[in-house]
Amino acid sequence: MTTPSPPASPPTFLLDGQPVPFTPGQTVMQAAYAAGRYIAHLCWHPDFSAHGSCKLCTVQANGRLATGCTLAAAEGMEVHTQTPELQDKRRTLLQLLFVEGNHFCPSCEKSGNCQLQATAYEAGMLTPHFDHFFPARPVDASHPEVLLDFNRCILCELCVRASRDVDGKHVFALSGRGTQSHLIVNSPTGRLADTDFAASDRAADICPVGVILKKRVGFAVPIGQRRYDAQPASAVDVASPARDNA
């Protein structure tokens, strides 16, 4: 170690040409979020460890592609998020997510409050483009307060992480392989009612799409006042309290 010196200014990297300060150990995503800069993401959340499944935060750093949520920030690194190639890839990733599930926004009570939908709007996605999977997983309406529609799941595992890391209930898990991967409920019957899940759990509010829905509060917020009506996804802090259960 050298002799103590007055605190130097923090190291920085360049995000789309603008300097972003970081503390060593932070990922590109963490530093960008702390600096109020937006990188598109679905499975990342500031309160949880990185997951790296949605790939939406893929950036170009020093000439190669990497997910911003897992890439360690480094002094002087040049990170690009808005190149035409990246915008194309992001739109394609969103299209893949849309065709893998049943994202019928017109009847989904998460519409307007949905991070997947808002991210797709901002990416200018006009069509899911690919052939639809039309999965047919039954709804779990067994719980008195919460409904699960598994056909909208994007496998971000935020509910898995929240239920495991915040209250230790381990209510959710992913099961299956490849395109058969799907969300399950950790109870002998597989039913949500047979767990100790509560509507006040963190996992009940963390779903970025319309899988985990509180009963009897749907469509309460008028069109025009929903989370993403006034502002695009890039302007909404994912950690801010959801307003869809007002």
Site residues, other proteins (CB under 8 A): 98-99, 102-108, 111-112, 117, 120-122, 124, 126-129, 131-132, 134-136, 232
Minimum distance from CB of 136 to other proteins (Å)?
3
SS3 string, the chain, reads: CCCCCCCCCCCEEEECCEEEECCCCCEHHHHHHHCCCCCCCCCCCCCCCCCCCCCCCEEEECCEEEECCCCECCCCCEEECCCHHHHHHHHHHHHHHHHHCCCCHHHCCCCCCCHHHHHHHHCCCCCCCCCCCCCCCCCECCCCCEEECHHHCCCCCHHHHHHHHCCCCCCEEEECCHHHCEEEECCCCCCHHHCCCCCCCCHHHHCCCCCEEECCCCCCCCCCCCCCCCCCHHHCCCCCCCCCCC
Q: Closest CB to other proteins among 188 and 224? A: 224
Sign of CA pseudo-dihedral 237, 181, 152, 92: positive
Q: Closest CB to other proteins among 52 and 128? A: 128
Minimum distance from CB of 40 to other proteins (Å)?
15
Q: Annotate 81-95 with b (16+ C-beta within 10 A) or e (fewer).
A: beeeebeeebbebbb
Q: Closest CB to other proteins among 1 and 126? A: 126
Minimum distance from CB of 127 to other proteins (Å)?
4
* Alpha carbons 172 and 70: distance in angstroms, whole number: 23
Minimum distance from CB of 117 to other proteins (Å)?
6
Minimum distance from CB of 1 to other proteins (Å)?
51
Q: Closest CB to other proteins among 103 and 143? A: 103
Q: Closest CB to other proteins among 28 and 213? A: 213
Q: Closest CB to other proteins among 99 and 173? A: 99
Q: Closest CB to other proteins among 126 and 239? A: 126
Minimum distance from CB of 229 to other proteins (Å)?
9
